[in-house]
Structures are given as C-alpha cells and as structure tokens.
C-alpha cells in the first residue's frame, strides 16, 4: 500500500514489499532473466481486514491493482500467479471463514469462487487455491469455465503441510500477528502423514487441477518423489519462506557457501521429480544458470 516504497521484511533478507508503482523494478528483472512467472502476495492494511475477508473481493485491492499494472505494461511476457485464500484479508489470519473456532469449508468455497473470478477477470494466468481444503478446485474450475476463463490454469496447493517453515511469510503478509498462537493444523496436513498427501493430490486432480504443489520443499522431497511417481502430472516444489530464511542466516554467518548450496538444492528438487520450482532465490538462480 502507498506510493514509491520498498519495505524490508526483517526475517527475509533480500526480499521486499513493493508498492504498485515500483513493481516494474522486479518484473523487468524477472523477464530479463527468463523467469516464466511471478507470484503476487498482498500485505493488506489492518483497517481493511475483517472476519469475512471482504477485501479479497474488492476489485481495487492490492492484488487486482498489481495484476492490472503488470498486464498493462508487459502483456503476456510473463505469467502471473495468485493465491486464492482469505488469510491476507481476515482479521483472524485464517485462510477461511470461521464460526465458533471451526473453519467452514463449504461456506469458504463461495468466497473463493468469487475471488477466483475476480482475479481471472483482472488477467491472472494461474490461480492457486492455497487453503488446500476440500472441493474448491472443482468449484473454481467450473466457475472459471462458465465465465469463459477456460485458459486460466489451476495450480493446486494439493500437498500442503502444516509447517513451522511458513513463519517468515506470515510476517511478510502481516497474517502472523492476527493468527497469534493458533495454527492451521486442522486444515493443513500432518507432517507425519505421507499417504494423506497422495489422497489429497488425487482429489485435486480429479477436480481438474492442472498441476500440484508440494510444500514445503526441502523437508518434503519424499512426498514430491512419490507424487511424481504415482501421478506423473506436473509437480511444483515450493521452497518456502522458512527455508529461505534458514539458508540466508547460514550464508550470512559464513556457515554455508551461498552459490553451491543453492545450486545443490535446486538439483535435489529436480532429482526428486519437480517440473517447476517456486523459490525466493529465483533471480539469483537464473543468473547462475545463464553464467554456466
Ligand atoms: C497462505 C500461504 C502461505 C504460504 C503461501 N500461501 C502461508 C500459510 O499457509 O500460512 C507460505 C509461503 C512461504 O512460506 O513462503 N495461504
């Protein structure tokens, strides 16, 4: 929010929040480096947050304005991916609507459908339902098709674990303080359970997902390898904020060698079966790849 600002995120050195007018700074760089897609995440002002996440449906919200700005300037030179979930917009910080401390699965779907249609309307190329609960992929696919958005793809956060590694991201989007000590373990998956990921992936594919995310990355390579072997569909590894922060801390202390470590990790994702990798190191990796 605001004009001409670039804000630091203390737990993610080198990652910043940008105001819309400064987005071209990073999108230019991404295009030059042949990064195929950028993911947009908003930090909504607290005054705009409420129990129902109403701001998610405001056509002038940050994500919508950012999509319009990028598409206006760059057309289809780069893809845009957006999360479909309510956590950047709810006062309680959860991904869905809640009542008496229970997440309301079906009621949330209605809002997510409208959020998806809005983002598709603005020009988003890939929608990523990130609350990973039941039935939204199918419902969103049907709504997109009905509205003529047949080419908008769905990247399902199918295997998303309830993980401590999301901490820095929650700080970055300002959902951490709202969430407080409450976790998301009633709707994200139990790290001890590998079979459930296969079940969740099968459901999302049956509902029409074009590709599936396995998340976090490094600690869940076994899940990635299983998913690729069992389903053979496009699998996306998501190296999340906590992994990034952990590595940066080691690099800053001189405990790990930056370039070699990042490269090794990328190779490991590919070895395990990743067709695509989402990572905060993307600009750096693109540079290394070009040099080699
Ligand atoms: C929100 C969302 C999260 C991430 C992506 N989308 C956090 C969460 O589920 O609490 C994590 C990204 C990261 O840690 O880099 N639905």
- Indicate the SS3 state at residue 132: coil
Q: Where are the beta strands (DSSP E) in 130-224?
A: 153-160, 211-215
Query: Is 1 a residue whose pLDDT tops 80?
Result: yes
Q: Which of 86, 96, 161, 170 for a ligand 1 pocket mutation test, highest count of atoms within 8 Å of Cβ?
A: 170
- Indicate the SS3 state at residue 248: helix
Give residue 85 CA to ligand 1 midpoint distance, Å: 10
Q: What is the pLDDT of residue 206?
A: 98
Mean pLDDT of 45-72: 97
Q: What is the pLDDT of residue 64?
A: 98
Q: What is the pLDDT of residue 181?
A: 75
Strand bridging mode 102-103 / 98-99: antiparallel
DSSP 259: H
Residues with CB under 6 A from ligand 1: 83, 85, 87, 95, 130, 166, 169-170, 184, 240-241
Q: What is the pLDDT of residue 174?
A: 84
Mean pLDDT of 37-59: 97
Nearest ligand 1 atom to the CA of 240 is: 15
How much is the mean pLDDT over the chain? 96
Could you tell me the pTM of the whole model?
0.96
Contact yes or no for 80/71 (Cβ under 8 A): yes
Beta bridge partners of 103: 98
The secondary element (H helix, E strand) that includes residue 126 is strand 126-129
Give residue 117 CA to ligand 1 midpoint distance, Å: 21
Q: Which of 168, 169, 185 for a ligand 1 pocket mutation test, highest count of atoms within 8 Å of Cβ?
A: 169
Structure confidence at residue 36 as a pLDDT band (50, 70, 90): very high
71 given a catalytic annotation: no
| Atom 16, ligand 1: residue with shortest CA distance | 130
Residue 79's contacts (CB-CB under 8 Å, 6 or more residues apart) are 36, 37, 38, 125, 126
- Indicate the SS3 state at residue 244: helix
The catalytically annotated residue of 49, 160, 184, 228 is: 160
Nearest ligand 1 atom to the CA of 83 is: 6
Structure confidence at residue 65 as a pLDDT band (50, 70, 90): very high
The catalytically annotated residue of 215, 228, 270, 287 is: 215
Percent of the chain with pLDDT over 90: 94
Nearest ligand 1 atom to the CA of 131 is: 16
Q: Measuring CA to CA, which residue among 79, 78, 69 is closest to residue 31?
A: 78
Query: Is 179 a residue whose pLDDT tops 90?
Result: no
Percent of the chain with pLDDT over 70: 100
pLDDT digits (tens, 9 = 90+) for 12-33: 999 999 999 999 999 999 999 9
Distance CA 62, CA 215 (A): 25
Structure confidence at residue 124 as a pLDDT band (50, 70, 90): very high
Contact yes or no for 246/256 (Cβ under 8 A): no
Q: Measuring CA to CA, which residue among 157, 200, 177 is closest to residue 39?
A: 157
Q: What is the pLDDT of residue 12?
A: 97
215 given a catalytic annotation: yes
Give residue 166 CA to ligand 1 midpoint distance, Å: 6
Structure confidence at residue 175 as a pLDDT band (50, 70, 90): confident
Contact yes or no for 189/159 (Cβ under 8 A): yes
Query: Is 180 a residue whose pLDDT tops 80?
Result: no
In this structure, the dihedral spanned by the alpha carbons of residues 245, 250, 253 and 255, taken in order and rounded to 10 degrees, is 180
Mean pLDDT of 224-230: 98
Q: What is the pLDDT of residue 263?
A: 97
């Amino acid at each position: 929010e605001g004009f001409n600002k670039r804000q630091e995120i203390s737990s993610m050195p080198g990652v910043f929040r940008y105001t819309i007018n400064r987005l071209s700074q990073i999108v230019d760089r991404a295009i030059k480096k042949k990064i195929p897609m950028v993911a947009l995440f908003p930090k909504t002002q607290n005054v705009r947050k409420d129990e129902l996440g109403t701001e998610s449906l405001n056509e002038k919200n940050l994500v919508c304005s950012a999509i319009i700005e990028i598409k206006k300037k760059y057309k289809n030179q780069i893809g845009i991916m957006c999360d479909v979930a309510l956590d950047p917009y709810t006062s309680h910080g959860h991904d869905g609507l809640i009542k008496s401390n229970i997440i309301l699965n079906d009621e949330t779907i209605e809002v997510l459908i409208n959020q998806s249609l809005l983002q598709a309307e603005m020009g988003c190329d890939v929608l990523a339902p990130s609350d990973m609960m039941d039935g939204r992929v199918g419902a969103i696919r049907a709504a997109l098709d009905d509205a003529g958005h047949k080419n908008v793809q769905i990247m399902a956060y199918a295997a998303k674990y309830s993980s401590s590694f999301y901490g820095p991201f929650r700080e970055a989007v300002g959902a951490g303080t709202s969430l407080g000590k409450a976790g998301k373990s009633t709707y994200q998956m139990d790290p001890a359970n590998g079979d459930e990921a296969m079940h969740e992936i099968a459901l999302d594919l049956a509902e029409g997902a074009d590709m599936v995310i396995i998340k976090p990355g490094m600690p869940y390579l076994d899940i990635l390898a299983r998913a690729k072997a069992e389903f053979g569909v496009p699998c996306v590894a998501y190296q999340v904020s906590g992994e990034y922060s952990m590595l940066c801390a080691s690099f800053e202390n001189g405990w790990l060698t930056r370039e070699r470590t990042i490269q090794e990790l990328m190779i490991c994702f590919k070895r395990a079966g990743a067709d695509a990798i989402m990572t905060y190191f993307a600009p750096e990796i693109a540079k290394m790849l070009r040099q080699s």
